[in-house]
């Protein structure tokens, strides 16, 4: 179970990463719509697992790999935003959040 501090930091990271994905790294996202759905932070605050929903792209795996390749650039932009709030910028690990695809599949089955 995450502590209140972890939850608060995860929420702030989710907000900041969402803004970075939408406004600052167009060359990474290649025009696709990328939404940060969840962030989980380890108790030592040195690692953040970032879950992304990827829309308006044909090849989700290639897009996710491109985002992973540019993780250090995204981390640098995040660091400039949170430098006064956290001592260390967490390492970012990106994963695809496929919960929306799962929900769509269930809805189709129910129809």
Q: Please report, for the chain, the start and end positions of each structural domain, with discontinuous segments joined by +.
A: 4-110
CA angle 39, 40, 42 (to 5 degrees): 145
Q: Which fold has domain 4-110?
A: GMP Synthetase; Chain A, domain 3 (3.30.300)
Element (H, E) at 7: helix 4-23
Q: What is the pLDDT at residue 88?
A: 93
* Alpha-helix residue ranges (DSSP H) falling in 42-89: 60-69, 71-82
Whole-angstrom CA distances from 35 to 22, 39, 67, 68, 108 are 8, 11, 12, 15, 23
- Residue pLDDT, tens place only, 49-103: 999 999 888 899 999 999 999 999 999 999 999 999 899 999 999 999 987 777 8
pLDDT of residue 50: 98
């Amino acid at each position: 179970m995450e502590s209140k501090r972890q939850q608060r930091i995860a929420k702030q990271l989710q907000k900041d990463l969402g803004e970075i994905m939408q406004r600052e790294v167009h060359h990474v996202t290649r025009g696709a719509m990328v939404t940060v759905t969840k962030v989980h932070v380890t108790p030592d605050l040195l690692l953040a697992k970032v879950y992304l929903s990827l829309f308006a792209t044909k090849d989700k795996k290639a897009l996710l790999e491109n985002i992973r390749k540019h993780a250090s650039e995204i981390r640098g932009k995040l660091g400039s935003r949170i430098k006064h709030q956290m001592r260390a910028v967490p390492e970012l690990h990106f994963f695809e959040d496929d919960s929306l695809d799962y929900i769509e599949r269930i809805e189709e089955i129910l129809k």
